[in-house]
Structures are given as C-alpha cells and as structure tokens.
C-alpha cells in the first residue's frame, strides 16, 4: 500500500492579512493524478495556510521566520467532496493558533478549488467507463498521498545542517524534524486512519472528532447500524414536532399527485424520496429544528396556496448540495469498500428497503425507473390512495392490499349494478322500517397511520434521477457501485502497533459514524486516547468548539490516573 510519494510542486503562493491578526497564504500545488502512473497527468491542489500575525509591521522576512518556528497542523475536512471555508470563519482556527500552531486547510483532490469534480468536466472525459476510472482516484488513499506530497513541499529537508562541532551534517531525515499534526473531522478522521496506515512517519500527532470510522466493516454492516440511529432520530423528531406527522403526509400526498415530481429551481425534481432525504440533517446540533422549519414552510404553502412556492422549492434544493458536490454522492458508499473484493452495490438502498420504516424506498426507486404516471384527479379519495400506497408496509404487502381493494371494489360494483336493474319479486317482503330509537352506526375510529420516516446519511439510486447534475453521471455511478477491485484503505497490523499519539472525540449519539463501530476502531488502534460523550452530536466541533477542543488538549497535555 505505501509507495514513494514525490514532493508536490508549489505553483504559487500569495499572502494577505485578515482582521483578527491573521496572516493567510493561498497555495496552489501540482501532484500526480495517479501515483502509480506518472503518464496519467497531474492535478492542481489548493490550500490556505493561516498563522498568527501579531507584529506591528509587514516585514515579510521576519514573518516567514516566525512561521518557520510554528509547527504545521493540517486540517482534514468532512465529506467526501467538500472543500474548506476561509480560515477566519472556522472557530477551530483561533484555538489552534492560540496553541502555537499554524494551520493548513487543504482542499481534497476533487473538492473546493483542488481540480473540483464537476459534471460538465466528467462528461468531457469520455464515456461512463472513463469517468468511473477517473473517479476511482479520489478516495482516501490518494488524499493521503497528496497530503504527504504537500508536507514535503512545505517542510523540505535543509541541504545541510550544522553539527555541534561545526562540521557539515547530512540532510535532516528524522520524522520528528519534518512531521506535522493532522486534525480530522468526520470523513477527515477516516483519512487520518488511512494516513496512520500508509505514512505514519509524516505525523507528529493526530486529532479526530467524530471520525473513528470502521476498519473492517462492509457498507451493509455500517448501514445496518446507522439505520437504527436514524430510526431513533426520527422518533425524537416526531416527539418534538407531533404536528409534522400529518404535515409530512400531506406533503408526500401532494408530491405523489404530481407523478414524476415537481421541478426545482436548480433543475432537479422534488419527489417524496428527495423530500424524505432531508433527514440527513437529523444528526447535527439543530438538525431537527432545521427540518421542521422546512416542513412548516412547505405545509404553510399548501394551506395558503395549494402549491409550493419558489421560496420553499429553493429551500429544499439547498438542503443536500449533491449537485455542487457530486463527489459526495458518487463516492460515499465506496469509502466503506476497505479492501479488494468488496462492492457497495447501492448498499443503503438494499439495507433500508428491508426495514418497515423505510419500505417506501422500493416505491421511490420503482417510480424513478418507470415512465412518469398520468396526472391523477384532485379528489380527496385519490389523495388518500396516494399516501396509502407510499409508506410503511413492505412492497409485497402493498401489492396484496391493492389486489384485495380491487377485488372488493369489483364485487361492490357488481352488487350495485344488480341492485339497480333487478326488481324484487312481488312476494318478497319489504324491509322493516328502522325503529325511531335505533342509533346510527358509530363512525370508524380516526386513521392513525405511522409517521413517514426520513432517511439519514445515505445515498440512493433515485438521487441520480432527481438531482440535475447527477442524472448524467448515473451510468458511472452504477459502474462504481458494482466495482470490487478497490485498493486497501487500512493496514490493521500497522494500526495495532501505532505509536503516533491519537486524540479522539467520539459521540455516543452520532448518527453518521456509529458509536459501537467507533469503539471497535478505538480498540484496534494503538496510542489512542479518547473523549467520549453522550451530550454532543457529530458537528460539535463547529457548534461547541471550545468544549471539544478543551477536552482534546486535556487528553494531549494531562495525565489520567
């Protein structure tokens, strides 16, 4: 798995100052597209370096000398497929600078400004087979090689180093002299584990938050766990907002009545499945409220106008930005293909559709695969049928129920037809008149269907039918879903004897990185110290920065008896 990684070529660096005594340098690097094939060409990477600038002057030489004294910490963003925001907008920046680091925010290959994966560019490469081969180069193994290439470019060995006796010494080669720290959030923690497997010699220490990914679990095993947590978060949502049980059903009824879905401002389609995918937010601080605000807005539209306004449709379109970050959708399941011989095969869909709470997944995929249905009538009876057909029963039960209903309606129609055209015999006694004291039959109890459940951090085939920029990439996504010759991502033996200090924050209620699987990883990696809590969620680094960072550095700087 480890191969020789050449230093990246620094194409440019430009520095400016930002209020708050920050000095920001924008780097562009050049690295191989394929580290196993130099003839494959190159990619361009982008990064921002930030350090404290508390000098009263703009002496560039003095500032550079000051930077040389500060150790680098490379921040590894969540994802896959997302770039970094400006350093001044990230609370973790200020904490790390106060601890004496300078921080590098490196956009992963294919994300941010690092030769971003874009639908138009992918289509220009050639047929789906060529697109898929290109996309295979954007997993964590090559991200780690990029990090190593950049580290060597920023921390080159000095040509000569004076010894105590004044004689010339060979080039510095000690890992401690040129190593840097890494800080992995979420998917960045997965990358950190690959880094520790492939190039631990480049690391001084590793921080992780919500990133202790599974080492030896397939996508099927991962989703079997995470769907359980998604069920819990749905239950929490409907406990907090019980009125949304009916609101969500009304919205799904409305979308069902539109056949192939409603056109979104970004060119996509709003279908029941796309709406129910906004549950991806449930695992974050404030996620339940975010989804409720969207449902309330949309339900209010239906109450007032009978249709969804452009503002509501734009809000839905902005929820899961798969169009602008297609790498997230395309490579999400392959990140669990940790060794050769494992294919994802749309794992989340296969696992989810077998669960009663998510049986609507099968209906959604069938709708996407079929021709758009005819526009149904606007009667309330057709609306009720639309909702009944969608959720919570498995597809085979839905079919049986539909057949039974059809037979019942046919029998009822025949009975009415005979009643209308056949006169009773003259000798037939008439029916007795009802007694004045007879009470009418009691009305049936109100229908109490179970709530429709949202999905979490899962990618489904229908996303490649409802997101405009994903539609032309579906053939390549299908090829990647069936691909099984993935290179390994982890070296378990090396991780077991790891000596690089690792400080990890892991969250019991994490909906994205399952806590039980994180505990398995914790036990499998050497030199790990962990802060575990059940009062913070996956995005605590952003929402509760000071609390998380204080605990991590307590692990780093203190002892535990």
User: What are the pLDDT digits (tens) for 290-336?
Assistant: 999 999 999 999 999 999 999 999 999 999 999 999 999 999 999 99
Distance of CA 212 to CAs 111, 513, 530, Å?
22, 7, 10
Average pLDDT over residues 503-519: 98
96 with 142, same domain? yes
Confidence band, pLDDT 50/70/90 cuts, at residue 62: low
Confidence band, pLDDT 50/70/90 cuts, at residue 444: low
361 with 344, same domain? yes
pLDDT (0 to 100) of residue 185: 98
pLDDT (0 to 100) of residue 426: 40
21 with 135, same domain? yes
| DSSP 8-state code for residue 85 | -
Average pLDDT over residues 347-358: 97
39 with 105, same domain? yes
Confidence band, pLDDT 50/70/90 cuts, at residue 386: very low
Q: Is residue 384 part of a domain?
A: no
13 with 138, same domain? yes
Q: Is residue 58 part of a domain?
A: yes
Q: Are 67 and 102 in contact (CB under 8 A)?
A: yes
Distance of CA 227 to CAs 230, 358, 454, 457, 462, Å?
5, 9, 10, 9, 18
Give the percent of the chain with pLDDT over 70. 80
DSSP for 445-463 reads PPP-PPPPPPP-S---TTH
Number of domains in the chain: 2
166 pLDDT more than 50: no
Domain with 64 in it: what CATH number? 3.40.50.1820
Show Cβ contacts of residue 519 under 8 Å, excluding neighbours closer than 6 positions. Answer: 506
pLDDT, one tens digit per residue, over 390-406 is: 333 333 444 444 444 44
pTM here is 0.84
Show Cβ contacts of residue 100 under 8 Å, excluding neighbours closer than 6 positions. Answer: 70, 71
Q: Is residue 164 part of a domain?
A: no
pLDDT (0 to 100) of residue 561: 73
pLDDT (0 to 100) of residue 252: 97
Average pLDDT over residues 6-12: 98
* Ranges 185-189, 431-435, 550-554: which has the least confidence: 431-435
* Ranges 60-69, 81-90, 216-225: which has the least confidence: 60-69
* Report for 47-61, 152-166, 399-413: range of highest mean pLDDT: 47-61
Domain with 551 in it: 9-158+178-215+489-557
171 pLDDT more than 80: no
Q: Which helix (H) or strand (E) element contains residue 146?
A: helix 140-154
pLDDT (0 to 100) of residue 95: 96
Q: Is residue 173 part of a domain?
A: no
348 with 455, same domain? yes
Mean pLDDT estimate for the chain: 86
Confidence band, pLDDT 50/70/90 cuts, at residue 162: very low
Q: Is residue 137 part of a domain?
A: yes
203 with 244, same domain? no
513 with 552, same domain? yes
190 with 43, same domain? yes
366 with 495, same domain? no
Confidence band, pLDDT 50/70/90 cuts, at residue 443: low
* Ranges 197-206, 392-401, 440-449: which has the least confidence: 392-401
pLDDT (0 to 100) of residue 367: 77
pLDDT, one tens digit per residue, over 111-161 is: 999 999 999 999 999 999 999 999 999 999 999 999 999 999 999 987 655
pLDDT (0 to 100) of residue 232: 98
Confidence band, pLDDT 50/70/90 cuts, at residue 369: confident
pLDDT (0 to 100) of residue 344: 98
Q: Is residue 404 part of a domain?
A: no
173 pLDDT more than 90: no
Q: Is residue 383 part of a domain?
A: no
pLDDT (0 to 100) of residue 521: 98
Give the percent of the chain with pLDDT over 90. 75
Confidence band, pLDDT 50/70/90 cuts, at residue 543: very high
Question: How do 22-32 and 42-52 pair as beta strands?
Answer: antiparallel
Q: Is residue 116 part of a domain?
A: yes
139 with 237, same domain? no
User: What is the Cα–Cα distance from 346 to 333, expressed in whole angstroms?
Assistant: 7
DSSP for 263-293 reads E-TTS-EE-HHHHHGGGGGGGSTTHHHHHHH
302 with 364, same domain? yes
Q: Which of 442, 476, 510 is the last residue before a domain boundary? A: 476
pLDDT (0 to 100) of residue 373: 35
Question: How do 203-209 and 262-263 pair as beta strands?
Answer: unpaired
433 pLDDT more than 70: no
């Amino acid at each position: 798995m480890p191969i020789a990684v050449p230093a990246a070529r620094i194409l440019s660096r430009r520095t400016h100052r930002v209020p708050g005594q920050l000095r920001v340098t924008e780097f562009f690097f050049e690295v191989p597209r394929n580290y196993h094939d130099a003839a494959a060409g190159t990619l361009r990477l982008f990064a921002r370096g930030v350090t404290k600038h508390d000098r009263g002057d703009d002496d560039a030489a003095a500032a550079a000398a000051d930077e040389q004294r500060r150790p680098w910490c490379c921040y590894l963003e969540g994802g896959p497929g997302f770039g970094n925001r400006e350093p001044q907008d990230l609370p973790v920046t200020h904490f790390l600078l106060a601890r004496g680091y300078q921080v590098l925010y490196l956009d992963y290959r294919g994300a941010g400004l690092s030769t971003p994966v874009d639908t138009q560019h992918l289509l220009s490469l050639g047929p789906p087979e060529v697109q898929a081969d290109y996309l295979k180069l954007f997993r964590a193994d090559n991200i780690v090689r990029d990090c190593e290439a950049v580290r060597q470019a920023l921390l080159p060995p000095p040509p000569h180093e004076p010894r105590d006796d004044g004689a010339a010494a060979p080039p510095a080669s000690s890992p401690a002299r040129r190593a840097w720290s890494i800080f992995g959030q979420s998917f960045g923690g997965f990358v950190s584990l690959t880094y520790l497997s492939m190039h631990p010699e480049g690391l001084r220490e590793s921080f992780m938050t919500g990133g202790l990914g599974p080492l030896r679990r397939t996508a099927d095993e991962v989703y079997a766990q995470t769907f359980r947590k998604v069920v819990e978060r749905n239950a929490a949502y409907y406990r907090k907002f019980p009125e949304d049980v009916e609101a969500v059903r009304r919205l799904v009824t409305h979308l069902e009545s539109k056949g192939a879905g409603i056109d979104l401002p970004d060119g996509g389609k709003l279908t029941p499945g796309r709406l129910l995918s906004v549950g991806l937010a449930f695992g974050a601080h404030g996620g339940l409220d975010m989804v409720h605000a969207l449902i309330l807005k949309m339900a209010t539209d239906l109450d007032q106008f009978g249709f969804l306004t452009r503002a509501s449709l734009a809000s839905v379109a902005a929820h899961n930005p798969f169009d602008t970050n297609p790498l997230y959708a395309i490579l999400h399941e392959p990140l669990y293909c940790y060794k050769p011989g494992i294919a994802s095969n749309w794992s989340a869909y296969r696992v989810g559709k077998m669960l009663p709470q998510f049986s609507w997944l099968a209906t959604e995929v069938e709708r996407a695969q079929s021709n758009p249905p005819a526009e149904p009538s606007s009667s309330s009876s057709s609306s009720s049928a639309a909702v009944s057909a969608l959720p919570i029963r498995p597809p085979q039960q839905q079919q049986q129920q539909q057949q039974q209903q059809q037979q019942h309606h046919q029998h009822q129609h025949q009975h009415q037809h005979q009643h209308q055209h056949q006169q009773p015999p003259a000798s037939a006694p008439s029916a007795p008149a009802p007694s004045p004291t007879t009470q009418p039959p009691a009305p049936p109890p109100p229908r109490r269907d179970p709530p429709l459940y949202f999905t979490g951090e899962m990618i489904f085939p229908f996303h490649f039918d409802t997101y405009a920029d994903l539609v032309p990439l579906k053939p390549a996504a299908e090829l990647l879903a069936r691909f099984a010759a993935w290179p390994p991502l982890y070296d378990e033996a090396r991780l077991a004897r790891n000596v690089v200090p690792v400080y990890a924050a892991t969250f019991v209620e994490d909906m994205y990185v399952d806590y039980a699987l994180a505990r398995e990883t914790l036990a499998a990696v050497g030199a790990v110290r962990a802060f575990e809590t059940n009062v913070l969620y996956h995005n605590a680094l952003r929402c509760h920065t000071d609390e998380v960072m204080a605990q991590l550095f307590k692990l780093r700087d203190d002892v535990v008896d």
